Amino acid sequence: MPDPLYPIREDEIEFSAIRAQGAGGQNVNKVSNAVHLRYSIPGSTLPDDIKQRLLQLNDQRITQDGVVVIKAQSSRSLEQNRQAAMERLQALVDSVALPPKPRRATRPTRSSQIERLDTKTERSNVKKQRQRVSDAD
């Protein structure tokens, strides 16, 4: 994984160990190996523009209060699940680290306009051929 543009401070993250869901035999009911990671976006030390872009994301992991909740349970090791949750959070922050490029408005070329109109005319003629013939003459 490449170096993050804005590394997340560990003291801003809250971890809680929970029991994993799904199959796993007798062990799954006794050991809390899954991890819930909670990270408050408004209370973080991230730059304001990144906070804003994170809060505008349409992501089900972000609550209405601006708290990111990530659940990791793929591994049987608590530490590996913790690391996986951290990596997912960092990937989420990195996804909005660079501002989106502003869109430059362009106009269709003359040839593409002509081609579009020709295609429309062609389709129109095909559909006219499907119509019932009338004795209007």
* Per-residue pLDDT at 107: 95
Classify residue 41 by burial, with Cβ atoms within 10 Å: 0-12, 13-18, 19+.
buried
- Per-domain residue ranges for the chain? 10-95
Average pLDDT taken over every residue of the chain = 88
Q: What is the DSSP letter of 52?
A: H
**CATH assignment of 10-95, given 2.30.130.10, 3.90.1570.10, 3.40.50.300, 3.30.160.20?**
3.30.160.20
Residue 34's pLDDT is 86
**pLDDT tens track for 54-80:** 999 998 999 999 899 999 988 888 899
Tokens of 5: 């543009």
Residues 86, 8 contacting (CB under 8 angstroms):
yes
Distance CA(77)–CA(10), nearest Å, equals 19
Tell me: the pLDDT tens digits for 4-28?
Answer: 778 888 888 998 888 877 766 666 6
Average pLDDT over residues 30-34: 76
pLDDT given for residue 3 in this prediction = 75
